[in-house]
Amino acid sequence: MTKDKSTDFVLQACDVSKHYRTTAGEVRAVKEVNLRIREGEFVAIMGPSGSGKTTLLSMLGALESPTEGEVLLQGRDLGRLRSRELAMLRRFQLGFIFQSFYLVDHLTAFENIRFPLGFNVKMEPGERDDRAVRLLGMVGLADRSDHFPRQLSGGEQQRVAIARAMANEPAVILADEPTGNLDQRSGNEIMDALEDLNQRLKQTLVVVTHDEQVARRARRLVLLEDGQVMEDRDLVTDAADMNMER
């Protein structure tokens, strides 16, 4: 796929491969993947365990660099950036949500969300506090501000993680099995919160999941198998087609 330096696409993977050298030989985790994601899209990535979902997401989020190919964020080739610039991108342009919440145990819900705002030199300390309060409200946890992670349910902890990922208004939120450790009800809560961000704030979302219920909420489904894209399907048109057939 030719790369498009314009910012029509917020995120692009162009012929991206990732190979790992292990004692048992070379593992080709991701093979020549092409993906273009527009601003405001909600993309689900599915596939069997070991199909390369986490590896792909890590490359899209500048946490790992491809062995071959290029990843472009807002038209900028990540492979050409200095480590300092990459650190800034990770801090301000990308939001991460993982299966394990990785909240800081000794910080309250408020403080966990406030923490990444501390890097934001464009904000006055007072503004940071206000924003952290607003983010807590946005994920429905205004009354849990002073709770430590251990005093929150799994679903609540994950909602704190979502608010934290949102803190610096990133261009893209990348989530790796965000409901993986949660019961159905908490999982639904998380997906409601993410769907709301996408619909109301046009937040671009890429969510890796093995749960069909979760994937069904997306507008687009990318199916990985053995490191390759087997299918890239527009779920909105599919749903419209189904209605036509009825």
Ligand X SMILES: Nc1ncnc2c1ncn2[C@@H]1O[C@H](COP(=O)(O)OP(=O)(O)O)[C@@H](O)[C@H]1O
Residues that bind ligand X (CB under 6 A): 20, 22, 27, 29, 47, 49-55
Ranges within 103-162 binding Mg ion (CB under 5 A): none
Closest to ligand X by CB, 20 vs 102, is 20
Closest to Mg ion by CB, 163 vs 218, is 218
Question: Residue 55 Cβ, how far from ligand X at the closest point, in Å?
Answer: 3
Closest to Mg ion by CB, 113 vs 205, is 205
Contact between 186 and 22 under an 8 Å Cβ cutoff? The reply is no
Question: Residue 158 Cβ, how far from Mg ion at the closest point, in Å?
Answer: 17
Q: Which does 20 bind (CB under 5 to 8 A by kind): Mg ion, ligand X, none?
A: ligand X
Closest to Mg ion by CB, 51 vs 157, is 51
Measured CA to CA, the distance from residue 64 to residue 48 in angstroms comes to: 21
Q: Which does 116 bind (CB under 5 to 8 A by kind): Mg ion, ligand X, none?
A: none
Residue 185 to residues 139, 142, 153, 191, 235: CA-CA distances in angstroms?
Answer: 15, 20, 12, 10, 24
Question: Residue 103 Cβ, how far from Mg ion at the closest point, in Å?
Answer: 20
Question: Residue 44 Cβ, how far from ligand X at the closest point, in Å?
Answer: 13
Q: Which does 162 bind (CB under 5 to 8 A by kind): ligand X, Mg ion, none?
A: none
Q: Which does 157 bind (CB under 5 to 8 A by kind): Mg ion, ligand X, none?
A: none
Closest to ligand X by CB, 54 vs 203, is 54
Question: Residue 180 Cβ, how far from Mg ion at the closest point, in Å?
Answer: 9
Least Cα distance to 194 among 183, 184, 205, 186 occurs for: 205
Contact between 10 and 172 under an 8 Å Cβ cutoff? The reply is yes
Contact between 178 and 98 under an 8 Å Cβ cutoff? The reply is yes
Measured CA to CA, the distance from residue 43 to residue 223 in angstroms comes to: 11
Question: Residue 221 Cβ, how far from ligand X at the closest point, in Å?
Answer: 15
* Unique residue bearing structure tokens 């087609």: 241
Give the full edge-to-edge strand order of the sheet including 25-38.
25-38, 9-22, 68-73, 76-77
Closest to ligand X by CB, 53 vs 217, is 53
Ranges within 3-62 binding Mg ion (CB under 5 A): 53-54
Measured CA to CA, the distance from residue 15 to residue 240 in angstroms comes to: 31
Contact between 187 and 157 under an 8 Å Cβ cutoff? The reply is no
Residues that bind Mg ion (CB under 5 A): 53-54
